[in-house]
Amino acid sequence: MKPIKIQLNENDIPRQWYNLAADLPTPLLPPLGPDGNPVTPDMLAPVFPMNLIEQEVSSERWIDIPEEILDILYRWRPTPLRRAVYLEKHLKTPARIYYKDESVSPPGSHKPNTAVAQAWYNKQFGIKKLTTETGAGQWGSALAFACNLLGLECKVFMVRISFDQKPFRKMMMGTWGANCVASPSSETNAGRKILAEMPDTPGSLGIAISEAIEAAVTDPSGKTRYSLGSVLNHVLLHQTIIGLEAKKQLKIAGEKLPDIIIGCAGGGSNFAGLSFPFVADKINGANIKIIPVEPTACPTMTRAPFAYDFGDTACTTPLLAMYTLGHAFVPPPIHAGGLRYHGMAPLVCQAIVEGLLEPRAYHQLRSYEAAITWARTEGFIPAPETSQALAAVIEEAEKAKEEGKEKVILVNYSGHGLMDLLGYDAYLSGQLTDYELPEEELKKYTKDLEKLPKAEMRKTGKW
């Protein structure tokens, strides 16, 4: 039997991150400040430490991973690349399906890859405390884990609906010593304003980001910074260790490049982490179908306009050029909490504009159906976010069967669902429904974008 768990040892870990900004055929549009001019690194300094701002604006192709960060990552990295032979057999597909198992980290997802790096760089810069937002709680628990290891204080604003639906992640954060409150909270001006207008709001990542930024920049000691779990260039950079490991592992498995790469995308970080090292191959001529997947309830990449927009509801962040549902968008309370962000990473968006990626959306019920098939064949119970990607894996594997083609499919198994069993319970007892964002809602939320600077869709036309 061929190996189905392809392992690397500590010595094989990648020692540099890959920066797609160096290779994008058309460069990113710059983030803009309130005056409509590009922001300078100094303007970001109250929010992020300068060493991370340097990574954010870097156009170097390779960036060294400090040895001390690797020392922490060795707890679970390199992660296994597994072949989903049991699912392949069940589907009777000629496709070979590989999944990069990021669920083996202590918090249970890919998020600590950047949490550890961000906490480390902040500590180097003399910062004592980090604030952040979290949706499903994966990111909050990852940052709590990282801050604990690096001796930083950690404050997490957790989207209200997930705070109620997913109490276990809040307990994990407490176990790692972080302080987690439901957002909107009464602790910030942004939170109080929204609570006064919408006391029953389920919250959103946009609102929680506003609160976390406010809590960081108003600390009179100047020793608090904000940390973001996705979207920004440096976050995606830290996640590329996933794809770089996967490349080595596919080679060991005797594969050339994959035919299809799939990842779910909330802010884009796990998708980018797996796919960007392969996007580089596509830019250089490889024929790979690369699919970021999102929920139909939050159809950023598949239906929203490409525009300049704020990253948060209170309009405190710079304007980013991205596909966006509008910063005021409050998504319906679907269970894939980590996929409910109104925008998408600018690097992912520019790759979509170029035609390098083929985004796709699935309904909630379809993704739970895929999750159940996965759990009953492979055995592992996926996170609801990951299940969106698995819906695409099953669709592509079935297509390969119809076409009789031996496709190689690579997917990011971004997290386990052992803290998300209430969602499974709701699905299995028939309580979940599908939701497609109505066109009027989309128009209502994106109307405000007309007042902001226009983002030009620039592309070479090669893909």
Ligand X SMILES: Cc1ncc(COP(=O)(O)O)c(C=O)c1O
Give the interface with ligand X as residue ranges (CB under 6 A): 109, 135-136, 138-139, 230, 264-271, 338-339, 383, 385-386, 414-415
How many angstroms from the chain centroid is the CA of residue 140? 13
Closest distance of CB 159 from ligand X, Å: 10
246 or 339: CB nearest ligand X: 339
Q: Are strands 408-413 and 96-101 parallel, antiparallel or unpaired?
A: parallel
Decide: helix, strand or coil at residue 16. strand
Closest distance of CB 404 from ligand X, Å: 32
Closest distance of CB 296 from ligand X, Å: 16
Closest distance of CB 413 from ligand X, Å: 9
162 or 373: CB nearest ligand X: 162
Burial (CB count within 10 angstroms: exposed 0-12, middle 13-18, buried 19+), residue 31 = buried
336 or 353: CB nearest ligand X: 336
Contact yes or no for 132/109 (Cβ under 8 A)? no
268 or 346: CB nearest ligand X: 268
CA distance 422 to 441: 28
Closest distance of CB 141 from ligand X, Å: 9
Would you give the DSSP letter of residue 7? -
297 or 452: CB nearest ligand X: 297
Would you give the DSSP letter of residue 244? H
CA distance 454 to 188: 31
43 or 422: CB nearest ligand X: 422
Amino acid at 224: T
Contact yes or no for 86/204 (Cβ under 8 A)? no
Closest distance of CB 242 from ligand X, Å: 10
110 or 247: CB nearest ligand X: 110
95 or 136: CB nearest ligand X: 136
Closest distance of CB 229 from ligand X, Å: 6
- Residue 52 sits at φ, ψ, to 5 deg, of -80, -30
Closest distance of CB 341 from ligand X, Å: 8
- Residue 421 sits at φ, ψ, to 5 deg, of -70, -20
- Residue 153's alpha-carbon distances to 95, 118, 126, 189, 226, in angstroms, are 47, 13, 12, 22, 12
CA distance 275 to 314: 32
55 or 386: CB nearest ligand X: 386
- Residue 319's alpha-carbon distances to 31, 35, 125, 329, in angstroms, are 5, 10, 26, 16
Q: Which residue is closest to ligand X by CB? A: 338
Contact yes or no for 209/43 (Cβ under 8 A)? no
The DSSP string of 355-405 is T----EEE-HHHHHHHHHHHHHHT---B-HHHHHHHHHHHHHHHHHHHHT-
Closest distance of CB 217 from ligand X, Å: 23
∠ Cα 17 18 24 (to 5°): 155
195 or 356: CB nearest ligand X: 356
Closest distance of CB 332 from ligand X, Å: 17
